[in-house]
Amino acid sequence: MPSRDSIISSLPLAWDPRLHAYLPKPALALLRKQQAKFTRDWTAIQQTPFASTDTPNPTITRQDYLYTWLLVNTRTFYHETPLTRRAPREDRMVLQPVADLFNHSGTGCAVHLHTHPIHHHGGPRLCHRRRGGHLLRETPQRLFVGQQQRGGGNCWDEVCLDEAVLPALGAGHRALLEERGFLGNYVLDAGTVCYRTQVALRVLCVTPGQWERLVSEGEDGGEGLQEEVDRLLLGLLRKWRGVVAGKIEEVEGLDVGQACQRQILCARWRQIASLVDQTIEAS
């Protein structure tokens, strides 16, 4: 399993809080939820003699508990079978200490099954051996806070565009979008923006009445409107690309936390910059 130093240096929950402000928005949102869960659990532990501040020499310190808490909470998975499905959620958890060996790349592994006997058991029943890999795909955004994996070039990577799109919206636009459930959570993946982003940008290109009709009828407004939306998106991405470059420069100039933690932050912002650049170049 990962050492204490490895966990502390790589997972944002254990970082200097002053670095948290430089996390991308989705990663920061995940971190805030993680912080709330840890605080709740640590508060409960402090009520015991093992960690109470009233105990002269407590056997559990906050740093000790943080390390073990992160180990458990980054390596626990739901174990759901027809037999366990009826059990309470807390009883359907399994700890997998070697979760780091799972495939965290952008593509799932090919799995091959080989069926042949490896032992004789005095009858026709065979023991089988399975070779293969983990099939799950993960996005770097989720791995950033919850795991130690930092691989780049993941084809499933995505970027939250809220910081690019929301500043362009006026109060009236925001009210319209919120009323119809389209305010925020805008996403860019490899070369395309999500449907929510397309809908939000159209509110800047047509009248409120026209926009309401487009949304109600599920129409895109035709090629002319799409070209206008594409130009608007390109301008917003170029502007936000400058903001991303500024984030990288700011982090590089910091002297808080560990150097490796700042490098992790810079690497993530560079991944974001790369995805934005790909979209700009393809436009």
Summarize the confidence of residues 21-49 as an average pLDDT: 94
Rounded to a whole number of angstroms, the CA Rg of the chain reads: 24
Q: How far apart are CA 192 and CA 158, in angstroms?
A: 10
Residue 267: which of 151, 130, 109, 95 has the closest Cα? Answer: 151
What token pair was written down for 227?
């070209």
What would the pLDDT profile of 123-161 be if each residue is shown by its tens digit?
Answer: 433 333 333 333 344 455 555 665 544 555 667 789 999
pLDDT digits (tens, 9 = 90+) for 255-267: 999 999 999 999 9
Q: Which two tokens stand for residue 173?
A: 């636009």
Among candidate residues 22, 2, 19, 56, the one with its CA nearest the CA of residue 247: 22
Tell me phi and psi for residue 95, to 5 degrees. -90, 125
Identity of the amino acid at 1: M
**Cα separation, 118 vs 131, whole angstroms:** 14
Q: Is the pLDDT of residue 172 over 50?
A: yes
How many whole angstroms separate alpha carbon 237 and alpha carbon 269? 14
> In whole angstroms, what is the distance from residue 151 CA to residue 105 CA?
7
What percentage of residues in the chain have a pLDDT greater than 70? 79
Integer Cα distance of 253 and 93 in angstroms:
42
Whether the Cβ atoms of residue 19 and residue 28 lie closer than 8 Å to each other: no
- DSSP string across 271-283: HHHHHHHHHHHH-
Contact 85, 62 (CB under 8 A): no
pTM for this model (two decimals): 0.78
Report the candidate in 268, 271, 277, 270 with the shortest Cα–Cα distance to residue 23. Answer: 268
**Residue 77 neighbours by CB distance under 10 Å:** 13
Tens of pLDDT, residue by residue over 72-115, are 888 887 778 888 888 888 788 877 766 666 655 555 555 555 55
Q: Give the phi and the psi of residue 15 in degrees, each rounded to 5.
A: -80, 170
Q: What is the mean pLDDT of residues 193-208?
A: 96
- The token pair at 41 is 């659990």
- Full DSSP string of 123-158: SS----EEE--------HHHHHHHSS------TT--
Residue ranges with strand state E in 54-111: 76-78, 93-95
